[in-house]
Amino acid sequence: MQTRRLGDSDLEITRLGFGAWAIGGGDWAFAWGRQDDADSIAAIREAVDLGINWIDTAAVYGLGHSEEVVGRALQGLAHPPLVFTKCGRVWDDSRQVGKRLQAASIRAECEASLRRLRIERIDLYQIHWPEPDEDVEEGWAECARLQAQGKVRWIGVSNFNVGQLERARAIAPVTSLQPPYSLLRREIEPEILPYCRAHGIGVLAYSPMASGLLTGTWSRERHASLPEDDWRKHKNPLFQEPRFSRTLAAVETLRGVAAGHGASPGAVALAWVLGNPAVTAAIVGARRAGQLGELVAAAGLTLSASERTAIEAAIA
């Protein structure tokens, strides 16, 4: 799989990375339902076998559990992938998630992530959300200190707007931004993507298939069968009516384009995201082995201008 340099770093990353949100398991605010750890480890190792060379996780995914599973999956690998994780979300004994960017909290989170991941240094450490906004500078300055001390190699942010990127860059360089970006979420196109391209900030697109909605595998029956602890059922606006039914109809256009390339609708949705020159790479999740193979083709799939126009018109 081809690679690209991530921002101002020395990291050459594949166009697709493994997303470890869902493998955090159930019983927390943004869970994807119950998850078998053995399936998760098999999915991670398959991703590595397919050539994917980085994993993106976060401390809050499963309230530490995703990082623990990633740490277990890395054991014994001859060529372990790069590990990206995030800070700024903490939880208490009742599993309630809070927002915190104070320096002491960031440092404690980093140490805890290193233990769970069983590694000595994090390849990319990211502020998960710019919340509370008034603490962005303090949190970012602490990330820069962690980098200077060798706890992390590079530092980035997630879900920042242009103003917040400017404030961060006044303190230390921003290697990367991780924003939501898909055919269904294009808010970053007018300002954020051009800003990142102009300032050499790498872009790691998350939810490029809209939490799975653009894979072509959904139906009203599958939606109805989602477990109650899957956050998509009640909290993800893309999965609420009437938007859900409208998107199912639009996905048929993806299916038609995919057929012409011998690919899946999900691969076409990914190829659309990767076709934006400001995007360095995209994050794809998997919960068991066998789910990534058809998506890897997206890294080498080029859509024509007419295909992009037809897809965008259908989704719009």
Which residues does 92 contact at the CB level (< 8 Å), separation at least 6?
98
At 223, the pLDDT band (50, 70, 90 cuts) reads confident
Q: What is the pLDDT of residue 240?
A: 85
Q: What residues pair up with 19 in beta bridges, in sequence order? A: 56, 285
What is the spatial distance between Cα 282 and Cα 296, in angstroms, rounded to a whole number?
Answer: 11
Share of the chain above pLDDT 70, in %: 100
Whole-structure pTM value: 0.93
Where are the chain's structural domains?
3-212+270-302
* Catalytic residue status for 125: no
Average pLDDT over residues 103-116: 98
The active-site residue out of 61, 125, 181, 206 is: 61
pLDDT in tens, 16-61: 999 999 999 988 888 888 899 999 999 999 999 999 999 999 999 9
Provide φ and ψ at 92, rounded to 5°.
-110, -175
Share of the chain above pLDDT 90, in %: 77
Long-range pairs for 220-229: beta carbons < 8 A, 24 or more residues apart: 220/244, 220/245, 220/248, 226/33, 227/26, 227/33, 227/34, 229/26, 229/27, 229/31, 229/33, 229/34
**Residue 250 corresponds to which tokens in the numbers above?**
């639009």
* Residue 285 scores a pLDDT above 80: yes
* Residue 231 scores a pLDDT above 80: no
Name the fold adopted by 3-212+270-302.
TIM Barrel (3.20.20)
pLDDT in tens, 158-210: 999 999 999 999 999 999 999 999 999 999 999 999 999 999 999 999 999 88
